[in-house]
Structure 1
């Protein structure tokens, strides 16, 4: 038991949980930590937190987010070894979390299925606090304009009104956050927001090579495909080993920008031979 109590009206226990993982791929990635607040029907709660050995290396980019490194979980139990006890703890519970419908629940179910433990969501309710948040506190331009500028956006979806509002929002963000220090999971302190367009570009730019995101830069800064049978493969290597793939993309219904970027990579590779 814990000192944490609640006022939720429950017909059966509600397990609010969160996962820290090796990444965000439901199929490939694994849990490195799970924490559950089990809200009971009598107003009390039980809290359990457990680190788990994912039986695979934790990518550095994930460790920098949640602060859990390979060394931290090398002696922790595997998911298989705790699966039955965890399933028992969650028996008869509805499930909830933040973005849990899209990520945490699917990944947890996948982990159970991998080790042969039946964990069925059919008779459980799933409550996602993020969806409630986004529904009640819209994350759109109008909401940003009200938050950063203290004004109501008139004529929303008029190009000029939206453009002026966005201009004012950007200035409001810089005024609000410039000089504000943030600390990452590794304890490093920085001031990410600066009145410098180069800094803001680096902060907000995506890893996409083309606007459609068919090609992206991987963690090593290499150009890779981001779809289909060649997903995550180096663009240059695919073009070398399967020249017909280039011809197919040029004839298929891909955006002209995608075709242009693909051609640039192909020509560059030819000149470097």
Structure 2
């Protein structure tokens, strides 16, 4: 399968507060490229979010805004693109809220949530959190809540599922986002 795995970290509970983003590009079930960037959300950071991901306000002072990054990201979010995330409603929601907040056009793309695929294909797991699924599939998750490590783990989860269960077990769970 060809797809892009993505993950956001946010500065606060606000969906418009993206402070880091990673994309992991997969072609023919092989990771071929990645992109990681800090983002200046131009908003305050909540101490709880900082505890989770370790990104502080001073870390993003010189980082680009999401609007400045979007020109490089938009080609990955097209009607022909499959974009996946672990807990995709969160990441898709951050993308939509941030684009709307910055008056940028919302893309149409195909989305797949690896929480849903994991629930369907590995119902025996005690839960379907990223770290639990990664451990069950023997995937190394270096730093949970680091956007790049999380996106890598998500990509490897779907690669594992495609290899073990086949694409036909996964494609019914794909949704169109617009």
**Shorter-chain TM-score tier:** 0.5 to 0.7
Q: TM-score, normalised by structure 1?
A: 0.42
Contact kept? 1:16, 1:96, Cα under 8 Å: yes
Larger Rg belongs to: 1
Contact kept? 1:87, 1:119, Cα under 8 Å: no
**Counting strand residues as a fraction of each chain, which structure ranks higher?**
2
- Is 1:82 the counterpart of 2:69? The answer is yes
1:139 and 1:57 mapped to 2: Cα distance?
Answer: 40
Unpaired stretches in structure 2, ≥5 consecutive residues: 128-142, 146-178
2:107 and 2:77 mapped to 1: Cα distance?
Answer: 11
Contact kept? 1:35, 1:47, Cα under 8 Å: yes
2:29 and 2:119 mapped to 1: Cα distance?
Answer: 30
The 1:19–1:38 alpha-carbon spacing in structure 2 relative to 1, beyond 3 Å, is same
RMSD value over aligned CA atoms?
2.8
The 1:48–1:25 alpha-carbon spacing in structure 2 relative to 1, beyond 3 Å, is same
Q: Match of 2:42, SS?
A: coil
Q: Which residue in 2 is equivalent to 1:125?
A: 110
The offset of 1:63, in angstroms, is 0.3
1:111 and 1:83 mapped to 2: Cα distance?
Answer: 10
Q: Which residue in 1 is equivalent to 2:101?
A: 114
Q: Which residue in 2 is equivalent to 1:104?
A: 91
The count of aligned residue pairs is: 129
Q: Match of 2:7, SS?
A: strand
Deviation digits for residues 79-101 of structure 1 (CA, Å, limit 9, x no counterpart): 1222222213444421101001x
Q: Which residue in 2 is equivalent to 1:23?
A: 12
Q: 2:35 aligns with which of 42, 48, 69?
A: 48
- Is 1:35 the counterpart of 2:22? The answer is yes
